[in-house]
Structure 1
């Protein structure tokens, strides 16, 4: 019954939406009329309606008539849902969603999330169901027309109520039924379609509340809401669907039977039976047969009880067989839908990872280029310095004697300074700094001075401490060798380290890089490239 109720409520929604759309082309008007007709006979001949709407959808896509493609596709969503094909419902809903968002058709955006929620609920995926319903409620606020906005709100709250009813949460179930009723009352009664939709939903909510209170054994409330629903159904002011009345009368018959009012139960069940024949609903018919059988037993009418007992058993067997044949379908749909979601998630992760990787590679390449430019600049500066003559360096050292005397932090006579500088120059020319055992004490003894004087002179006149002074001499030595003698460029780093006095290649490489800004390997490569 709920499925048929949903179909007719959606039919109202899209009929009113079509009325508000302005189409200038007569060909498009014809397509809209065909879509409308297909939806109109969907309840009586769903197979033909489905084929026709599929054809209309394809036609609209070919001529790029997006509004027609959207409305015809929405009709297919409803047909698939009513047929119990929830996988197709979800697949088709994504098609509608795409067009609805592009057209800013917020009615459709909100409805498609709700339809997808209903499909997930039928498949037992409650978390996904609630997530889609939340989206539907958010998007409904963008609908400007009050009648459509409040009507859709009432249907969303009806869906929430259905979820909590299936979960057995009677408190939330009843709460959302009342929310649906409040939203329905807020609908303005400005045209017949709106009025019928409003009271159709009110009748359904009242009937559902009557059934809910009946299950809770709150009989006064159950009677109150059943009567309110029946009053709407029996009113000549509203054109309420027959299937809703058959369901209501069946529920009322069961209520009276459960409360021992068997004559009332038979009266309402017989009325329900007449209305159900106009719009066949096997499960409602099964409930009607059971109520009549049970009530006739209690009133000792054996012939009538046997008659309805046979009808009940026969129909139950038929429905059970049908259920067994279709039992595997929801499981396949769940697996298929989950696979689709997983593939989409994996695809998105791969795309994002590829973008991040590309950005990282690009940043690394830019950094490497910048670093290379800096290193190469240092290399060029070094090559320029190598060409300076050694005698110019000597002259500079001699001139520094007089200029730097005031820099000394300890008292050393000019004669002592000059003597030490001459000895340092001889030491540098002798290349004794290449010895691996060179240290401050050894050099002080070798130059016939003390470590204090020697450290101070090196600091003031060579602008280094002892270690960096020796490193500079050694690195400059090996740089000149590599620059002047191509044979050295063929040697391994281990040999070059030993050649200039280092105990290990690692210490040599660190000292070389600290002084020049690049490694000895880079220097050799650049020299080879310039040969």
Structure 2
């Protein structure tokens, strides 16, 4: 259940109460009708829908197409609130048709967004992407930046859900750049900008957590922490605590995870029953991780009993059922464990239909693995036979293997320590960072500079010095063409001057600058040392961690992780 159920069924609701007949209620102003429905927003569907019908009637009477559409949307959202997704979808389709027929592009985009959210419950991921792509096309046609970014982020969420998390991260990053560069105006204030950025940081952190990239998740969590609560819309501060909770959970710091989730749900409390179900899952899985299995069962079972999952929602419950099965298994209640594990398998199959055809072989494999563990626990409980001799034998083999690996590790560590001491000595001896690593190429491309005027040579060397001071070499677009253009020369002259003056090719020259920068910063900056290798690589201008590691090891004899 992790992020999926909340993601696709948490929408904004506008409800009112109904205490008069539809005709009489429609005589009230729009604001009064909206206010009158709120009493029933969580309780009586029929009265809420009657009030929405009255809203539509008033819109027709005043020939106000926008208000009429809002009344139609209210009916769709009421059905979503009561988890009647098929009926909600039918009414959402009516809002789309109405918006098209009456040339209301803004409301048409809003309809497409709602329909896209609903498809995961009523049809397929393909249909969901169809509506999101339609939203994107319409937003681009009308130059609507807000809905364009909404569409891109919804598409990224589906990519993430479908397993293409890397592509989702790329989309989130593009959206992040958009909001960071978007100017403020009367329709987009500082708080809205901050909230949009924090929301994307949250999506990026979650995606990196799914990929088990904790360092990157922590980086985005740190970015979120920089924003104060008063600088954000009310509930956006929740992201700080939920991401901290998920990171703590992944690191098995269950007490911290529990405290952060409790803070998150206290910051922005909600009567919405889906929020309570997600809270139960978050706190329940923490108790499972902490091996407090009885407490986990209490929390998870109560959340499930209170919510009463519908058949449509079963496909999103696989993680929830898996945690319940695990908790029951370790309390010795094998009957309940088996029941929830079978539900986990069946709901997993339903969820997989959203992404691809169910793979029966995968399900069989998981069932066999669980049965093996299940039988072992039953056998242990019934027979309580000791396997001490086997454990001792296995333990001896493991210890011997570990000793061998330990010996090998210490040999390698000793060699790396010698290389490290040598590198430290070079750093201390260097008069400047540029003197730590100074590679010379044996074969140079264009060493003869007789045709380069002396004035041009000096211009190039001075230009290179200025670019070094500006740390232009840290940019990924730093190549011979762009450097030559910035200095005001051509690539041939640039190459010849670098070859002659530095005794190295252009690429070696840039790599030396980057590696020297990395070495110096790693030595002096504790925060920089906490970055992942990928993050460090990107900071110093490389597109991949592999390229950075290759040049770093070539120049120092050490892996950057050491």
Please give the TM-score of this superposition, normalised by the length of structure 1.
0.49
Kindly indicate whether structure 1 or structure 2 has the higher relative contact order, using CA contacts under 8 Å at least 6 residues apart. 2
Give the number of the structure whose residues are more often helix, by fraction: 1
